[in-house]
Every structure is written in C-alpha cells, then in structure tokens.
Structure 1
Amino acid sequence: MSSSVSSSPLSYSPTSSPELIKTRTHHKSCHIEIGLLILFLCLTIPSLLFLTLIYRRTTTYSPPTTSISPATLSDSPFFKFAFNRNFHRKSLINYPQARCMDDSIASYYIRLSTVSNSSRWFIYFDGGWFCYSNESCYFRRLFSPNLMTSNGFDEKKSSIGIFSSLKQYNLIYVPYCSSDLWSGSSNESHSHGSDIFHAIFDDLKSDKRFQKAQQI
C-alpha cells in the first residue's frame, strides 16, 4: 500500500522565483549607482573649491613694487666676493709633460684668501670620469671636449659655489683636462694627469705664500 504526501500551498520552497531575483538585482545596482554618484560628488566638490581659491589668489595677488637697484646689490659684501672674478689662471707652460689630452698646455687657478697672510690652503682637483679606449675617447672628444683641453679657459673665474664660503682659505682650483683620473703619464695615450698633478705642486713650491702653509 503506497501513501502519498500532498504538498501544502504554504510549504517553503528553497529556490526563489525569477521575478524576485530580478527585483533584488535591480535594487543592488541602484544602490551601487547611488554610492558611486555620492563618491564622485565628494571628490569633485572639494577639488572645485580648491581650484577656485587658487584662481582667486593668483588673480588678486600683486607683486611688490620695491626693487633693489644694481648699485645697491653690487655694493653688498657677498656680491663683491662671490661674483668678483678673483680666480687668476696660471699656466704650466714650464712643465713640458703637463699637457691635456689634446696636448694643450694645462693650467690651474689661484685665489688668495680675504684674510691677510693666511696659511691655510684648499686645493681642489676637478673630476669628470675618464676615457679608456680609442672609441670612448673619440665620443668624449665629441660630447665633452672641455674635459680634454685647456683651450677656451678664461683668464679669470668667479668664486661661485662652495668656494664662496671658503674666504679664510687660499684656493687652488685645477680644471680637469687629462681624462685619466689624474693618474696618467704617457705620451702614447696622451694621458698626463699624474704629470699635471706633480707639476702643480712643483710650481706652488716656488710661491713664498705657499711655503708658509700650515694647513693644506
């Protein structure tokens, strides 16, 4: 004998109807769109206010009318010291091996201290990497010729940069034109950095002021 159980109209069905699924999906998409709109407004409105403030500030700003006359600027101690061309060039023509890579005569610059009879000396050898083959030296000659020659060096230079703060020192500035890390001594490769290095100190030994140096 078989028995059958009739399903009640009020019984729970685990699966939702297609209409209910569509309604829930529609509500979720509406919530997402509203959230994105609120986020957009929160980001846009402050940006617009910020740009408006900047625009008003730039349009209402008027530069100061006061100006410094060239005469006043040139009379300042800093201007006189920093922009005065007080580095004087000294040629190493008496030292045949002191040559740049293009065989031009090497040289250096000297600037005396503002302190009278200063016995403090600061010697600065400039840098600029090096070349190590015919190809690398060829490209260096094309793109960085100032690191291989003394041609075009000014007779005087200004003490701008770190040198302007070393007033109590006698300064020696050596431009870099050997392209060999100050280490070469070869006529074949035209590298005479070491020769230039030693020639400068030999030349300074004849300077009576350098002979009294107590700090180098």
Structure 2
Amino acid sequence: RCSHLMSISDEHVAEMDLGQSVTVKQLNCSSCDKCVALSFSDAWNTPEDILTDDTERNGWFEVSSPRDRVVCYALSQIMYRQFEVPEEEREEAIFDQPDPTDIVMIFWLKGQAIGFYTIKPKGSLVERTMEHYAMHTLDTAYVRSVKRRQGYGMRMLQNITSSYPGNDIGFSKPISFSMWKVLRKYLQHNADYRNKFWEIEGTGGEGNQKLIWYAIKFQDKKKKTLHNE
C-alpha cells in the first residue's frame, strides 16, 4: 500500500471474530497500519481478491456463508473504514460489526462485491437496553466510491421495499448526506412510501420516529424561505 517493502511479524497480524464462529486474520502494513491482506481458510488474499467471486453473481444476495461474512468485513471494515474514510461532517459514521440477528445483503456486480446493507428486523432485541426494534430498519449501507452515482443506492431501496412490501421502514440516525439524496429521489418517484420511511433514533420507539418525507419537505420550505429573503 505504501510502495515500501516491510518486514512482517506477528505484531502486525490481528485475529478478528466475525461472529457465527467465523474468524479472519488481518495483516496490516507496518508503515501505514492499513490492511494489506486477509487470511481465511488458511489462505492469504488481498482485500480486492476477497471481494471477487468466481461464480460471477449479479444483484443482491443475503449473506449465508462464512466467506460472505468475510466479504462483508472487507467492505465495511477495510474498504470503507480505511480506504474511503467516512466524513463526519457529511454524517458518515463508522460501522459496527453486524449483530447475529441482522440481515446482511451484499450487492454483486459481475462477481465483484461493490456494496452492502444491513437490516435490523422488526422486533429484534437490543440486549443493552432490552428494547425491540419498532420496524425493519436500515442500519448500515455502503457502495464503493467507484460505483457511486450509478443508481445503486436506488436499487438498494428498491430491494428493501420489495423485501418488506407495504411495511414501514426505519433508517438509523445519522443518515448521511448521500443517503438523503437517494431517499429524496426515491420518494419523489414512489409516493406510496412517503408515509412509510422513518428516520429513527435507537430502536424507533414512540417519540423516536420522524417521517422522512416531512423532513425533506421541511428542508425545501426552509431553503425557499431563505432564498426569498
């Protein structure tokens, strides 16, 4: 990564627990401390190689195998967290590892994993607070920067709404600037969901829900007022 040859020692290798009895070893560069390789099933591969699937899958697929979990880890904790560093001023947050009850979806494009999202199912329990999610909730979402502005955010929302037709859908705070743009575009073209998309805090219980379409229209009105002044 740094264009330097560096010696490798055990101090640069960390073993990561991905849950569901899946572990992966991560080798970080001793110079820049960024990941250069991941070891899974006794084989070292670069993060880019991990994101390649020989079956050339296309579309959204639910994580169902140990290797899929490693792919999700490479996307969320390596590509996003280290090489496309989230910008706090754009409300981009660091992602935690998915919980065992989360639904994790990966988008494959000609055998390349280019994005993922995680859903907190309605009714799933947060043990720390003993609260249950009030609705199916999009908790994390990411599309690699080289594939942005190509409609994959819209396809993500289409996949979610087709998976939970007619249901209220929550979106965990903070919602990034880029996701707000996708939500605006989606709701402009899908009026049936204007009363079903919610910005939520925590598990989205009473008092912790805000209608996204209302928030969008409020911002539009605010901008119009400022412009007229």
TM-score range, shorter chain: under 0.3
With CA pairs under 8 Å and 6+ residues apart, which has the higher RCO, 1 or 2? 1
Counting strand residues as a fraction of each chain, which structure ranks higher? 2
Counting helix residues as a fraction of each chain, which structure ranks higher? 1
Question: Bigger radius of gyration, 1 or 2?
Answer: 1
